[in-house]
């Protein structure tokens, strides 16, 4: 996985996989992902990449559900009115 994806996953899991690490992540009302200092891209692309990561890593359904819960708790999604 790329360094950017490692930073994103680390943020979601509450782990430091990169330096610098991501302190916050937000999805704008028009569907773009940003952090405190980096424009990531479209939320749809990130979500597709995370799905591909689940498949590649062999996560179980309960593990995917747990990861998605963490994702929703760590990423402010303004498409849906915020966290």
Question: Residue 82: what pLDDT?
Answer: 57
Return the domain boundaries, the chain. 3-77
- Strands in the chain per DSSP E: 25-27, 32-35, 39-42, 75-77
User: Residue 16: is its pLDDT beyond 70?
Assistant: yes
What is the length of the chain? 83
% pLDDT > 70, the chain: 96
Tens-place pLDDT, residues 33-73 = 999 999 999 999 999 999 999 999 999 999 999 999 999 99
Question: Residue 42: what pLDDT?
Answer: 98
User: Residue 80: is its pLDDT beyond 80?
Assistant: no
Predicted structure pTM score: 0.88
């Amino acid at each position: 996985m790329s360094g950017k994806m490692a930073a994103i996953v680390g943020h979601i899991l509450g782990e430091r996989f990169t330096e610098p690490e991501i302190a916050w992540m937000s999805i704008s009302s028009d569907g773009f992902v940003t952090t405190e200092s980096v424009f990531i891209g479209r939320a749809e692309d990130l979500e597709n990449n995370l799905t591909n990561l689940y498949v590649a890593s062999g996560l179980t359904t309960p593990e995917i559900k747990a990861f998605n819960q963490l994702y929703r708790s760590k990423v402010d999604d303004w498409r849906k009115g915020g966290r």
